[in-house]
Structure 1
Amino acid sequence: MTTSTFDSYRPPEPPRRKRRREGPRPASRPGAGGGDGSREMSMVDDVKFSSYYGRPIVKAPPWKHEIGLYFVLGGIAGGSALLGFGAQLAGLRKLRRNSRLTALGAAGAGALALIADLGRPERFLNMFRTFKVTSPMSLGSWLLGGFSALAAIPALSELVRMTHGFILPKPLRRSGRRVLEATENVAGAGSALLAAPLAVYTAVLINDTANPVWNASRKHLPYVFASSASLASAGVAMITTSKRQTLPARILGGIGVVGDVVSMHVMKDAMHPAEREPLETGEPGKMLKFAEILAVAGGVGSIFAGRSRLVAVASGVCLVGASALTRFGVLDAGLESVHDPRHVIEPQKARLAARRAAGITDDSITTV
């Protein structure tokens, strides 16, 4: 028997069975061995999607759940500022007050969550060193800063009214109240103008990556985040405000429920099955499914929330929970998708086949 240097690559053979010496030889069954070659050992392993050295093809961002909390609070802040401006125009004082305070509180808490994720506070300040129109992160930092500055004026004005001016230093009580009363409506309108960009810029931020789930949802995820912001802000208003003044919040919540459910299904239908899979399986899939149930329950409850304070609070909790689970579910689905190379490779091969089928064979993508 001859040997070569390549024999070391041959996998070990299983031990052979001893032949039966007595009795006739049984007839070979189809597929159980014999002359059909079924007993031959395969020299090639089953094909599995993998990457070099077992590393992910796309690197996952080092984000923790502080970023998910920042996403949720940003939606609450933006939606509340818009709701507060509507209450300002409608003359609903309690709803205006609660929405203004919620907008500033959520923006401040969101900034703290972002700083906690960055690790060091100076990193947050370094984001304001430059302004790049082409960078969603740079634009988002300036957007958060401008929104917080504008939302602080009407919120401070509401606090001054609640405390009859005692939160201001005594020499500035008269002049400070006059300045706040003169600027609060303009600042409220400015924060409302920045409300929608603040609520959805995080969707644009994660869409601007190579992550298979986030990149594939770039056309529809901003609509999902806008709807979830409507859910969250309406829910907080229904929890904190008496039922007599929650009609605008209940209307906003109902619109948000329809937008959230429809946009989520449209987004999934537009994605490749391998890209959609992380949104429908595992913990992210459970969160998004439960978020849809809570959104529908909160939307139905908001119809009857004007009759019962208990129903209003329960519906508000459902809407806030649905918004939070939606954003956490999308975030976790993207983080999970990079662990399986199939989520990257299969959509790429499908796009390549579609371009070749369309007759596009002269570009850098389809040329082999």
Structure 2
Amino acid sequence: MTYKRVWQSPKRGGRSASDESAESYYGVAPIHKPHWKWLIIAYFYLGGISGLSYVIAEIAEVAGGAQNRAITRAGRYISFGTLLPCPVLLVFDLGRPERFLNMLRVFKLRSPMSVGTWVLVVFSGFCTWAALVQAAQDELLNWFGAWTYAIKAVPARWVGVMGAPFGFLLGGYTGVLLAATAVPLWTRNALLMGPLFLASSASNSTAALTLALSLSKAPHRAVARLERLEVFSLVTELGLLSLNRKRLGSTIGRPLSAGSTGRLYRFGVHGVGIIAPLVLTAVPMMTG
């Protein structure tokens, strides 16, 4: 393969080799663009909601009470509903289904992708079982006959607790996966990426649960508890993002302050994604 020296092209206005090499290696980008697009972005988003919705649901199950029971019910269904597209998104991104199966042949503890694949598989089992238990409790599986009684006989609380760590991992491992790449924006703050994605997953999950409970006319105390958790998650996410931006510096962090990516980061991530929902949730709590 040969590369054309872009600085030699007359369309570049006679730029020198030194000018061109300041931005690239003679027209060749120093970092390859990621091959994945919206499929993986959607997986990050839905997987985070699924993992943390499950965790919140099982914490509410252990805590007990009528208000928490509504949180458990909504969390199990939301977790299962957002989990369903995740394997499909990964398979479509890989191009061929057998590639996903090939990743299950081995388990590499030092590979975030290998760990994440197995986390998704194991969590899928716990999440599906929790949804079945909830459906059986809601008498939606009566047509299963004896299977319904068998599902109800299993101690759902302890099975749910065993699956909670995998929900946490699903919500945060994607940040660790990005930190293991060669992109300076991600590797510079490798230790912050996991907690940042976990906080983002928590804020998205609590927002989804709050919306679901509000539409179903759940007890006000249950909604209020979720709103407090949402505010805490948003504040944590905002703090981690600010720390991440500060540690990047002006050179590595330039994409987050310039161009279309910078505008998306400021107005999309910070403005619409964090500050707006934080104000809309926190202000009524303080004034009401």
TM-score range, shorter chain: 0.7 to 0.9
Is 1:256 the counterpart of 2:233 in the alignment? yes
Correspondent of 1:76 among 49, 54, 76: 49
Is 1:215 the counterpart of 2:187 in the alignment? yes
Alignment deviations for residues 40-90 of structure 1 (CA, whole Å, 9 cap, x no partner): xx9966633254452222222311111011111121012101210122123
TM-score (structure 2 length as normaliser): 0.83
Alignment partner, residue 31 of structure 1: none
Is 1:57 the counterpart of 2:36 in the alignment? no
Counterpart CA distance in 1 for 2:33 and 2:180 is 13
DSSP 3-state at the match of 2:187: helix
Paired letter, 2:237: D
After the TM superposition, which residues 149-228 of structure 1 pair with which residues of structure 2 at under 5 Å, given as runs?
149-168=125-144, 170-174=145-149, 176-179=150-153, 182-228=154-200
Alignment deviations for residues 84-120 of structure 1 (CA, whole Å, 9 cap, x no partner): 0122123322211110111122222222211121111
Counterpart CA distance in 2 for 1:204 and 1:222 is 5
What's the offset of the Cα at 1:186?
Answer: 1.6
Paired letter, 1:116: F
Is 1:90 the counterpart of 2:64 in the alignment? yes
Paired letter, 2:189: S
What's the offset of the Cα at 1:167?
Answer: 4.9
What's the offset of the Cα at 1:171?
Answer: 4.2
**Would the alpha carbon gap of residues 69 and 247 (structure 1) be closer, same or farther in structure 2, given more than 3 Å must change?**
same
Counterpart CA distance in 1 for 2:245 and 2:60 is 35
Alignment partner, residue 235 of structure 1: 207
Is the contact between residue 136 and residue 148 of structure 2 (CA under 8 Å) also seen in structure 1? no
DSSP 3-state at the match of 2:181: coil
Alignment partner, residue 337 of structure 1: none
Is the contact between residue 99 and residue 237 of structure 1 (CA under 8 Å) also seen in structure 2? yes
Greater share of residues in helix: 2
Is the contact between residue 133 and residue 156 of structure 2 (CA under 8 Å) also seen in structure 1? yes
Q: CA RMSD, aligned part only? A: 2.5
Counterpart CA distance in 2 for 1:250 and 1:132 is 38
- The structure 1 segments of at least 4 consecutive aligned residues displaced by more than 3 Å after TM superposition are 42-46, 50-53, 303-307
Moved more, 95-104 or 129-138: 95-104
Correspondent of 2:243 among 257, 266, 273: 266
What's the offset of the Cα at 1:195?
Answer: 2.0
Moved more, 290-299 or 153-162: 290-299
Unpaired runs of at least 5, structure 1: 1-10, 12-41, 308-368
Paired letter, 1:103: S
Instruction: Indicate the structure (1 or 2) with the bigger Cα radius of gyration.
Output: 1
Is the contact between residue 132 and residue 151 of structure 2 (CA under 8 Å) also seen in structure 1? no
What's the offset of the Cα at 1:306?
Answer: 7.2
Counterpart CA distance in 1 for 2:108 and 2:98 is 19
Is 1:291 the counterpart of 2:269 in the alignment? yes
Unpaired runs of at least 5, structure 2: 1-7, 9-13
Counterpart CA distance in 1 for 2:64 and 2:147 is 30
Alignment partner, residue 101 of structure 1: 77
Moved more, 228-237 or 189-198: 189-198
**Would the alpha carbon gap of residues 43 and 83 (structure 1) be closer, same or farther in structure 2, given more than 3 Å must change?**
closer
TM-score (structure 1 length as normaliser): 0.66
**Would the alpha carbon gap of residues 219 and 164 (structure 1) be closer, same or farther in structure 2, given more than 3 Å must change?**
closer
Paired letter, 1:133: L
Moved more, 84-93 or 129-138: 84-93
User: Sequence identity, in percent?
Assistant: 27
Counterpart CA distance in 2 for 1:207 and 1:129 is 24
What's the offset of the Cα at 1:146?
Answer: 0.9
Counterpart CA distance in 1 for 2:278 and 2:89 is 29
Counterpart CA distance in 2 for 1:297 and 1:129 is 44
**Would the alpha carbon gap of residues 163 and 207 (structure 1) be closer, same or farther in structure 2, given more than 3 Å must change?**
same
**Would the alpha carbon gap of residues 203 and 133 (structure 1) be closer, same or farther in structure 2, given more than 3 Å must change?**
same
What's the offset of the Cα at 1:206?
Answer: 1.0
